[in-house]
Amino acid sequence: MMPSGRSTSARPRPGWPSGWKLQGRARVFSVYPPDTSNKAHSDTYVAEASARLSRLAAMAREAGFHLLMENEKDIVGDTPGRCHAILSAVESPALRFAWDPANFVQVGIEQPTGRWWSLLAPYIAYVHVKDAVLVDGSVRAAGEGDGQIPELLRVLCDSGYRGVLALEPHLAFAGHSSGFSGEDGMAYAAKKLWEVMAEVGCAES
């Protein structure tokens, strides 16, 4: 992405650590807690998730590639606070963050970009474009839900983000850790993303 007629702000800049040469990347998730009856229980597994990802990050760094930890519902790394707790505990250049706004909405996070972007921005190196609504968690195309996609694109442009926007709409079927949109769904999702990009003044590069 690149800004189009927008001034650069002092927002936290996402991206890869300085001097770290990218050889490859793999998306990962944090720990699935054995007890999901109460979300508060997830806090007790942050240390375990951090320890496991720390070991994986060390292996990844030695091999010369990155792990991209994605936020996901029903796992320890579901909320911005717990994601940050894990990332800051590991604090490895080999572990970066994949921001998924819809997944934040599906765990009840309001205004994910406005309230939480600055906390996680130093770790963000990959962005999913998927929206959802707070009322029932159902998935929507970009700009049709509560994931603040326009605000997300604005901060990406303002920060000089040059990473990936991965279109992951899941419009036909949105299951846990999987989804499907079909040809028509993907075409519609791409159209809505381009519309939001034009609205906020961002262009592909």
Hey, where are the domains in the chain? 11-203
Question: 193: which 2 tokens?
Answer: 């993303």
- Which DSSP symbol is given to 146? S
Walk along the chain (205 residues) and give the pLDDT tens digit of each residue: 543 333 333 455 665 554 445 568 899 999 888 876 766 678 899 999 999 999 999 999 999 889 999 999 989 999 999 999 999 999 999 999 999 999 999 999 999 999 999 999 999 999 999 999 999 999 999 999 999 999 999 999 999 888 888 887 765 545 555 554 667 878 888 999 999 999 999 877 7
C-alpha span between 139 and 96 (Å, rounded)? 25
Alpha-helix residue ranges (DSSP H) falling in the chain: 46-63, 80-90, 101-105, 112-120, 149-159, 182-200
Class of domain 11-203: alpha beta
Q: Residue 139 is which amino acid?
A: V
- Which DSSP symbol is given to 15? S
Residue 157 contacts residue 9 (beta carbons within 8 Å):
no
C-alpha span between 198 and 181 (Å, rounded)? 23
Question: 109: which 2 tokens?
Answer: 């996070």
Q: Whole-model pTM?
A: 0.85
Helical axes 112-120 vs 80-90, angle rounded to 10°: 10
Residue 156 sits at the vertex; the CA angle it makes with 90 and 201, to the nearest 5 degrees, is 175
Q: Residue 178 is which amino acid?
A: S
